[in-house]
């Protein structure tokens, strides 16, 4: 089993990079998940008998890559989840859309409903049964030929949220076969990347910020000056 890319670890948390097309946790595919990899990494490195505890604090869609934090004990998991609830846990994404949104900056607020059978999400009326409010802010950073680079900050963490909300304004994410973003990109990965994570350390309370680049050599990222917008050092 290939070892995951670890950005930071201590006895409370592990911060890692999720590759694209790897599930965050086990699913019906039976494929090895990032959670499985992190558990195995801890078990081997620290010679832990049995199953190592790793708390899943947040998720990324299978086709989405980027930075994630995992808890190494239940108390840290509880405190990180509390930050998710009170809005102090910040997740930022880069997305490449088909076309450029009409508004260069905007807050999108929608009500979303998930179909568990088809694993798809749709925008619905607020009074629709099981509808959940979803909020995000986006900013258009650059434009290229028929595509645009967006910085997206989540206000909520709904399933497929960014993909569905951007589709709803007529600008699906590049490479998104599920939500209409594959018109220009049938052979490319989804152009959605969790590039920044900010939270308070569950014990020290120190603000922790981690940033990672998307695959800059690949389409469509190579058409933009991504380094200009991410203040970090590219991983070796």
Catalytic residue among 10, 27, 61, 182: 61
Residue 41: C-alpha distances to residues 72, 152, 161 (Å): 12, 31, 30
Tell me which long-range contacts 120-127 makes (C-beta under 8 A, separation of at least 24): 120/160, 120/178, 121/158, 121/159, 121/160, 121/161, 121/163, 121/164, 122/164, 123/164, 123/165, 123/168
216 Cβ contact list (under 8 Å, min separation 6): 222, 226, 227, 234
C-alpha pair distances (Å), 89 with each of 70, 155, 179? 13, 10, 27
27: annotated active-site residue: no
The residues annotated with a catalytic role in the active site are 61
């Amino acid at each position: 089993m290939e070892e995951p890319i670890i950005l930071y670890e201590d006895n409370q948390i592990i911060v890692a990079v999720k590759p694209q097309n790897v599930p965050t946790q086990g699913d019906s595919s039976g494929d090895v998940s990032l959670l499985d990899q992190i558990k195995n990494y801890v078990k081997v490195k620290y010679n832990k008998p049995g199953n190592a505890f790793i708390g899943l604090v947040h998720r990324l869609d299978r086709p989405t890559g980027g930075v994630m934090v995992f808890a190494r004990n239940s108390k840290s998991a509880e405190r990180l989840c509390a930050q998710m609830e009170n809005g102090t846990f910040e997740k930022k994404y880069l997305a490449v859309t088909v076309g450029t949104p009409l508004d260069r900056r905007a807050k999108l607020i929608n009500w979303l409903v998930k179909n568990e059978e088809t694993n798809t999400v749709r925008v619905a009326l607020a009074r629709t049964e099981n509808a959940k409010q979803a909020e995000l802010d986006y900013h258009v950073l650059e434009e290229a030929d028929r595509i645009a680079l967006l910085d997206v900050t989540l206000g909520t963490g709904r399933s497929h949220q960014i993909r569905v909300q951007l589709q709803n304004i007529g600008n699906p994410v590049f490479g998104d076969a599920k939500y209409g973003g594959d018109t220009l990109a049938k052979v490319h990965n989804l152009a959605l990347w969790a590039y920044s994570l900010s939270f308070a350390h569950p014990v020290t309370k120190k603000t922790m910020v981690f940033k990672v680049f998307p695959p800059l050599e690949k389409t469509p990222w190579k058409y933009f000056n991504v380094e200009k917008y991410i203040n970090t050092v590219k991983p070796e």
